Amino acid sequence: MSVLIFLAAFIFVSIPLSWLFRAMLARALPRDMALVARDMPLTAAFGILIIGIYVFAAAFAPVLAPFAERAVVGTSFQPWDSTHLLGTDRLGRDMLSRLIYGARNTVGIAFATTALAFLVGSLLGILAALRGGWLDQLLSRFVDALMAIPSLIFSLLLLTIFGTSVLTLILVIAAVDATRVYRIARSVAQGVVVMDYIEAARLRGEGTWYLIRFEILPNALAPLVAEFGLRFCFVFLTISSLSFLGLGIQPPMADWGSMVRDNATLITFGDMTPLLPAGAIALLTVAVNFVVDWQLYRASGLKEQG
C-alpha cells in the first residue's frame, strides 16, 4: 500500500513540475528552440527533466553524495534516519550515496557502450547498403548468425570467458548490440542509396566516406537518433540484469542492478529499500522512451490537428 501511495504522489507532483519545466525552457531558450519546447508534450518535458537530473547526479556525484562510494559508515541494513536518509546496505554503506554514484557508473557505462555499438553498427550497416555485393552478403549473414543467439545468454557466455572488467563489459555488450544497430542502419541506408543525388555524387567521383558522411548520414539521422535512445534503454537494462546476476559491474563499484540483488532480503520484511535502485532503473527507462517517442513524432512530420 505504501508503494502505491508513493507512486500516486509521484505522479501528482510530476505533472506540475513537467509543466513548469516546459514553461521555463520556452522562456530561456532561443526563439526557434523555444517554439519547439512550447509545443512539446508534458511526457517529453518530464523525460528531459528526469534525464537532466540523472546527468547532473552523475556529473556531480562526489559533491551530492553525503558519503564516499565505498565507505562503510554504519551497521548492516540500518533503517532510514537523519544520518542515513535511505538507510544502509548489507555491508553498512550509505544507500543514498550508492544510488547517486550508481547514476555515474551504470548510466555512464551504458552510454559509452551504446555509443560504441552505434559507431560500429551504423558504419558497417551503411557501408553494406552502399557497397552491396559480397560485402553486404558476408556482413549480413554474420549478423544473422549472431542474432540467432539470445543476447543475454551470449553476453553471459562471453563475460564468463573473457572476464568481467569494465572494459570487457563495454566491448562485449557493444559487440552484441552492434548487430541490432547494423540491421536498422542497413535498412534505413538502403532507402537512401537508391536516390538520384547519391548517383549524382557517384558520377562526380565522390568516395565512399564522402557519400556516407555528407549524403547518407544527414538523410538517415532522424531514425538513427531515435534508435539510439531505444538502444540505450536496452543496453542499460542489459547491464543492470548482468550486474544482478553477478557478471556486470563488479563490487565495490556502485551499480543499481547489484544493489537490488544485495538488498533483496529486505523485501521479505516489507522494506522498500531494494525497490529504490529498481525504481531508478525503471524511471530512466521511461524518461528516455518518452523523449524518443516525441522525437519519432516530430521526425514523422505529423502535426496535431487544432
Report the mean per-residue pLDDT for the chain.
Answer: 87
pLDDT digits (tens, 9 = 90+) for 6-65: 778 878 888 888 999 999 988 888 888 888 888 889 999 999 999 999 999 999 999 999
Mean local confidence (pLDDT), 68-87: 88
Q: Whole-prediction pTM value? A: 0.85
pLDDT at 304: 47
pLDDT digits (tens, 9 = 90+) for 82-122: 888 888 888 889 999 999 999 888 888 999 999 999 999 99
- Evaluate if residue 182 carries a pLDDT over 90: yes
d(CA 99, CA 96): 5
**What domains are defined for the chain?**
40-300 (1.10.3720.10)
Q: Which residues contact 117 (CB under 8 A, 6 or more apart)?
A: 173, 174, 175, 177, 178, 180, 181, 231, 235
Question: Which residue in 186, 192, 197 sits closest to 219, CA to CA?
Answer: 192
